[in-house]
Amino acid sequence: MTAELTADAAHNPDGPPHESFDVEPPYEPDDAALAAVERFDDRFLDRELSWLRFNERVLELAEDPSLPLLERARFLAIFASNLDEFFMVRVAGLKRRIAAGLAVRAASGLMPREVLDRIWATAAELSARHARVLHDQLRPALTESGIDLVRWEELTSDEQRTCKRLFKERIFPVLTPLAVDPAHPFPYISGLSLNLAVVIENPRSGKEHFARVKVPPIFSRFVPVGNDRFVPLEDVIREHLKKLFPGMSIVEVHTFRVTRNEDLEVEEDDAENLLTALEKELLRRRFGPPVRLEVEESISDAVLDLLVTELGIGEAEVFRLPGPLDLRGLHGIADLDRAELKYPAFVPTTHPRLAEVESAKPVDVFKAARRHDVLLHHPYDSFSTSVQRFIEQAAADRHVLAIKQTLYRTSGDSPIIDALIDAAEAGKQVLVIVEIKARFDEEANIRWARKLEQAGCHVVYGLVGLKTHCKLSMVVRQEPDGIRRYTHIGTGNYNPKTSRMYEDLGLITTNERIGEDVAHLFNNLSGWSRNASYEELLVAPDNVRTGLVERIHREIAHHRAGRPARIRLKANSVVDEAVIDALYLASQEGVPVQLLVRGICALRPGVPGLSENVEVRSILGRFLEHSRVFDVENGGEPEAWIGSADMMHRNLDRRVEVLVRLPGESTRGPVRELLDLAFAPDTSAWLLDAEGSWSRNGGEVDLQAALIERQRSRRSAQA
């Protein structure tokens, strides 16, 4: 059932309600225009290979000598974590489709087997390069700075004695050697665990046996031995294996690591049983088939053959690397208290429009929002004094009647969760849309869902078949002049921890049109309402793709009529073929197109006759660029949208996503200034060419450093 919206002229502190710019004549591509694009049958880059090039850019940050040393170590750890997830999800998915006989040609023209072959070759090359960066660049540089990553043989006698005590008192009690013989089948190797493959010999019989020892993940990956010196945990275990196998001789010891398919497949036809189904699937995840085997390059052929045979791994899936394996543990090194080897300290500040409210402490978000719309830019604007404060103030305010909230990912000790529980216990109506299928956060979200339900919150798991990925909060408050809705729409999760590392945008507004739209959307998510018509929102899967394509076509019409026209898009990924083809059409018509893409980009810029007017940039750095923005000139009446949706099939077809049209110049202006700076010729960025290769442009301005400096100047001016 579709409800009609009859919103009156809406309250808008920044000006009159936004009206659509009618274009005469409207642009609709004809068959000839479409054919002019479609004749380029190789116009899409492969999404999986593009992702690998993204992770290569992360690796280039680790190689960059101009960055602080411990930050380079962190980028090495991020590269490793990224690659793990890529194999667990994307490579596993390709293998599953091939095994199921569902292999179809990708938009790039490649078959899944071709993609897999290129992935294995590229990933092996990048993994070897990753190891070389540690050994040839980072370790020597760390040593010069007084931080030593050493192997067992490099330890002093005193340090070895320290490790011996640690092994005896803490490590030995938790180790479990697993033998392999006719009575003991080859043990299950859990995904991402670090293991020792041990060959032992019985001195009496001379017979050799194989055993596996799991390196316990509860201990630090790199064991501190004093004076900022660290040794890999597996080295400590390796040197004391005789304690595990008394009376036996240790013949060989090799480190190995398995990556498994850990993507989830949950049937959602019965939404009431979704929690139960997901919990069962989480158990199955632990036993997914292997998709990668990492081994130290010193491994013997005999032991490698045994592992390959028992795990059912193909030759191309074996990665022989210099030890140590599993460099995710470098996060622990990057966390060392060595401020001189890190980015300068940065503390977010309260947004000026929140801070100006009579210097109130804590901030009165409601009073500020009644005066002005507030566009937040995290992490430069504090999350705790804006979004978190918004929910906490609502929970404590006796005039607040209801709070409605979506939760996709949040932190383990979330103050947002606590505030929602407080609100429910205070008698307020609290609706929480919890996405329990958020990848790798499923178990945590199940816990939060149950905790919220026990407190009296109305917990809903969204729509069957769709992930609820949008970032929405709405507070309904009784005020002297009637009911008022306060709304927050963001590009990032309600997570206080990641808000300090992720770059995101958020709008706090009392705009009546936006509030009306968000109210309808919450009703869609929690009840039987099915309103697909919104004034100020684009909502997937209904109309994000069509809405954006329509606006791209509108820019073409403006350009043809001689009015200002330009398209700028900022996203994590740009893959959707319909959106890309619309951008190609705009380029062919002469409309300038600029894309700022952190990760995957399937569009080929600079192809003669197709995309000469398209520029694609990528910016990586201290913060993870996470906001999504769509900005157009609109014939001289600029329009900017922010929201949760990337240009990917899953976002546009299989998720509930929201983009909101920014309601006034005070909110549009900062977004356009951000894009101006990002695309300035002297801003440092990677540029994409028509062949899918990325290269740094040599720009001298660091976007994030410039925004930090702008924030510091603002704080000084306020002081």
Q: Exactly one of 351, 469, 488, 520 is catalytic; which is it?
A: 469
Give first-to-last CA distance, the chain, whole Å. Answer: 54
Report the candidate in 70, 153, 46, 105 with the shortest Cα–Cα distance to residue 573. Answer: 46
Give the full edge-to-edge strand order of the sheet including 177-180.
177-180, 208-214, 194-201, 249-260, 290-296, 318-321
Cα(601)–Cα(688) distance, integer angstroms = 9
Cα(634)–Cα(630) distance, integer angstroms = 12
Cα(392)–Cα(68) distance, integer angstroms = 37
Does the active-site annotation cover 469? yes
Report the candidate in 638, 595, 599, 640 with the shortest Cα–Cα distance to residue 615. Answer: 595
Cα(124)–Cα(109) distance, integer angstroms = 23
- Going by their DSSP bridges, the two strands 537-540 and 628-632 should be labelled as unpaired
- Going by their DSSP bridges, the two strands 655-661 and 639-643 should be labelled as antiparallel
Cα(462)–Cα(525) distance, integer angstroms = 5
* DSSP annotation of 7: -
Give, in order, the Cα–Cα distances in Å from 655 to each of 89, 419, 468.
18, 26, 6
Radius of gyration of the chain (CA): 28
3-state secondary structure of 296: strand
**Beta strand extents in 141-277 (DSSP E only):** 148-149, 177-180, 194-201, 208-214, 222-226, 229-232, 249-260
Alpha helix segments (H runs only) across 133-256? 139-144, 157-166, 233-238
Cα(186)–Cα(259) distance, integer angstroms = 17
Element (H, E) at 12: none
Residue length of the chain: 719
Beta bridge partners, 290, equal: 260
Phi then psi for residue 473, to 5 deg, are -135, 140
Give, in order, the Cα–Cα distances in Å from 561 to each of 99, 207, 431, 552, 566.
53, 86, 48, 15, 13
Active-site positions read 469
